[in-house]
Structure 1
Amino acid sequence: MAGPGAGSLSFGRMVSEGLQALDTQLKTSQADLQHLALGEAQNLHEVMIRLEESRIALQLALQVRNRVLEAYQDVMKMQV
């Protein structure tokens, strides 16, 4: 059975990889928007789908952050 440190490393790695994936997705969406603005977009439907996926992924990340902050604040309010 793994110790307490092993779980925190995998959780930290999971968060880091998730944020990197989100960053990559947002950069791709930004490039898609630039291509669309220049008239170089091949398929408008695919661009719009990727933009919506990026928007939803960003909203999810913000909601997770908000929940973590709320939990932290609740823990800090507890009396020992």
Structure 2
Amino acid sequence: MTVALMWEARAVAGRGEDLLAWVRGQKVPGEPVRQEVLRAPQDRVLVITWWDAEYHAELPELPDPDGDLVSRPVHRWRFEQVD
């Protein structure tokens, strides 16, 4: 089974590049099958990692950045691949 973990944060206004740099400096523990970093308007950054694992498996995730970098709590979602 393939599980995708999504991690999304919104930077404090004007700090989107700082948040993106922070994300790029992080190393997700373990060996995801694939990882992508995306950005969107409003200084949002999204990280998606794909894992060969069961849906409820304990998987490593990015930590929360410092509170002075984000404007709200990090959002996290978990999905399983559907054939």
TM-score relative to the length of structure 2 = 0.25
Relative to total residues, which structure has the larger helix share, 1 or 2? 1
Q: Which has the larger radius of gyration?
A: 1
Relative to total residues, which structure has the larger strand share, 1 or 2? 2
> Structure with the greater relative contact order (CA < 8 A, sep ≥ 6): 1 or 2?
2
TM-score relative to the length of structure 1 = 0.25
